[in-house]
Each structure stands twice: as structure tokens, then as C-alpha cells.
A and B are shown apart, each in its own frame.
Chain A
Amino acid sequence: MANRDARRPFGLTRAAPVATTPGTWPSSMSVDPVTQVGVYYGIDGGVMPLMSSGGGAHGTYDPTSIPQMTDIDGKDGPRKVPDAPRSDDTTD
């Protein structure tokens, strides 16, 4: 193992723990069957990190700022809506 550590690529000696931001990842997500917008569960404090390709997070974002319709005509669960999402049974 000592030899392995000595052979660790130079680039990895520059590694630092990824930037952390307040908030937590959601524990799960479902897709609103009408709008197709994500509905997130288990987000502490209402904010979640935005992903970056570098392994960190680009700050936080409040997903509740995106209008969601999670209670459609009082029906639970996803429904098949053939192609066109704006059918007559939406609530807007």
C-alpha cells in the first residue's frame, strides 16, 4: 500500500473535499403526471444542491419555486396522458 500511495498520480495530490452547500439531496423524486416537473421528497430546509460536472454543487436551489401540480383532481398516482399533457382534466 505504501508503494501504491507513492505512485498516486500527481493530479490527485491536488484533490480537496468537494465544496459543500447547505441543504440536502432529496430522498426520492416522482414526476408530476401532467406537468412532468419533478416532485421532490425529503429535502431538508426546502433547498437542494445544483449538480456540477466537477463533483461539487453550484450553490443551492429552491425546487418549490417551480410551480408543481401534485394534486390533480384529487387523484393520486401517475396516469397515462397520451402525448399531449394539456388535456381538459388539468387544474389550471
Chain B
Amino acid sequence: MTDTTVLVVTGMDTTADAVIHELYSRGVPVARFDLGDFPAAVSFAAEFGKDIAGRLETPSRSVDLARVRSLYYRRPTFSEFGDLDPGDAQFAVAQARFGFSGTLQCLPDCLYVNHPRKIAAAEWKPAQLETAARLGFCVPPTIVSNEQNAITAFAKTHGPIVYKPVTWSGYIRGDTAYGLYVREVDPAELNETVTTTAHLFQAKVDKIADVRVTVVGAEVFCVRITSPLTDWRENYDLVESYTVIDPPEGMSGLLRAYLDHWGLVYGCFDFGIDRHGTWWWYECNPAGEWGWLQHHTGQPIASAFADVLEGGVT
């Protein structure tokens, strides 16, 4: 095990740096590269028989693809082939995705944190909602629809309501990047524009605080976030406190059951806590950010990542 490598697949990322530094301090071999480095700075050759045989070459590492103990898939960028004609680039992008990324997805005896295909599967919000409710989390009443009448009726029954995007796809208008933060919706605002595409509305949780839970392997890190805003992400300067708390009884088992359902090693869960102490499930991001929480609270999250990456498949 000691001579097998941990691959960290990322670009500019100080959160990944914290994990890499932890692994380095333990003497664990690490190779860091970005999928977008291929083919300009990274090359590979893999032969497929009974076993995979081949190597991955980065500017500073040469890695035996049959001897990778774990892979940390940390928000990589992808090759764009901007130096090719658009049609040629489209072909090259697809070949890189299915050839290079595809090879990295099937390394033998490799622990993926998390596997990219499992990340992709776990990102669908409707499936998240269904799974969370079935496992026993308290999930706010939710509707996903493009029918104005159905949404209006939902607001009458479950109001006050908030709007949330079903997924985040980025939005730039002019030169400005926009975010879709969670805000209350006045039912009088609902109009025919809800019919343009699918929309998600949810009963607003009468919260007194939010909780971000980062689960890494068997470790559960809970941080209570106090902000006057419905969505604390809208203005970090208004966050009043980050407080380390323990999960309520039974919560850790639910969290692990959720991750096991999707085959995930780690996940970032968001909850709202109401005045009765109930934790209302919002979502689980299978590739969520956690570096800023370690920064604010001192929770050893990078160390927990290093533990699972060092341990590999058990």
C-alpha cells in the first residue's frame, strides 16, 4: 500500500491543497493534475486486458495506473482544445472525456472520493428529495412543476414558500455573474413565466439557524451557521457565527445511509433548524465546498479526507 499513489484531480483549488499537504506530511505519494491539463501537460496510455496496465504522466509525476490507491475528484476543469477548429475541438473534447476521464473512472482497487459518475447521479434534486424523504429525513413540502395553477395551489396550502433552482447552471447577464439565492416568494408574483421551464418551490422553513454537515467517511462535521438572511450564502459579511455542534440522535446514521444509497464517500448536507429543534433537510452536494468551514472552525476536515484517501479500498 505504501508505494501506491493518491491521485488528486483538480485545478486551482486551495481546499484540495489542504488535503494534499496533509497527505504529503504523512508520506503518502500524491500526483496532482487537472483534467483540463490533458493533453497539453498530461498524457496517458492504458491497455485494457484482464487488468488495466499503463501510466499517467504529469509534469512532475509518473504514475502506474494499476497502482492507484485512491482518487480525489475535486471539481476539475475540462480540456477545451481552443487551438483547434470548432468542429475538430468538439470531436477532441468528446474523445478526451470518454477516453482520458473514462480511463480514470475504472482504475482497479481504487477508492473514489467521490466517483464522478456517482457525483453526477447524486446531483439530481428530484432524486435527492425522494431519497431523503424515503430514508426518514424531515423534508419540507416541495413541488417541481411548470404549471401555474399547481404552483399557486401549492403556495396556498404550504405558504409561505421559497423558490430554489432545481440545479445550478450559471447565469451571466451582460458582464455580471448572478446567483440564485433562496428568497421568499409572494404568491402574487407567480405568473405565466413559471410555465417557461421547470421550477422548484418549497415550504419556507421557519428557521432559527442553518447547519452545514460535511460527512467524510465515518467522520461527521456539523457547523451551525447563524445569519439574518433566508440564504446565508447571499452575504457572508452578515454571517454572525459558525459554531461546531453535534448532530441530533440518529442523524449520523441517516447521513451515512443517504451517502451509501448513492455510493458516496463524502457529501455536504444543508439543513435548516426550526424553533422546535427539528433539522429540515435541504440538499446534499456530492462535491460541496468545505475549506472555509475548516478555516473558521478548526474542524480537521482535510485530515479526515487524508484518512480515507490514505486508507484506500478497505
**Is B32's CB under 8 angstroms from A52's CB?**
no
**Is B289's CB under 8 angstroms from A55's CB?**
no
CB of B124 closer than 8 Å to a CB of A? no
Q: How many residues of B contact A (CB 8 A)?
A: 63
Interface pick from B87-95, B100-108, B203-211, B233-241: B233-241
CA distance A2 to B177 in the complex (A): 22
Given contacts A17-B177, A18-B179, A85-B30, contact A80 B62 (CB under 8 A): yes
Chain A residues touching B, majority SS? loop
Given contacts A33-B60, A36-B31, contact A85 B24 (CB under 8 A): yes
**Is B176's CB under 8 angstroms from A78's CB?**
no
Interface pick from B11-19, B78-86, B132-140, B153-161: B11-19
Chain B residues touching A, majority SS? mixed
Given contacts A10-B163, A55-B179, contact A38 B59 (CB under 8 A): no
| Interface residues in chain B, defined as those with a beta carbon under 8 Å from any beta carbon in chain A | 3, 5, 8, 11-18, 20-21, 24, 27, 29-33, 58-64, 67, 75, 163, 165, 168, 170-171, 173, 176-181, 183, 185, 189-191, 193-194, 196-197, 199, 233-236, 285, 287-289, 291-292, 295-296
Q: What are the nearest 7 A-B pairs in CB distance?
A: A33-B60, A15-B178, A58-B292, A36-B32, A78-B59, A10-B193, A18-B179
| Interface residues in chain A, defined as those with a beta carbon under 8 Å from any beta carbon in chain B | 6-19, 21, 25-26, 29, 31, 33-38, 40, 48, 50-59, 61, 63, 66-67, 78-86
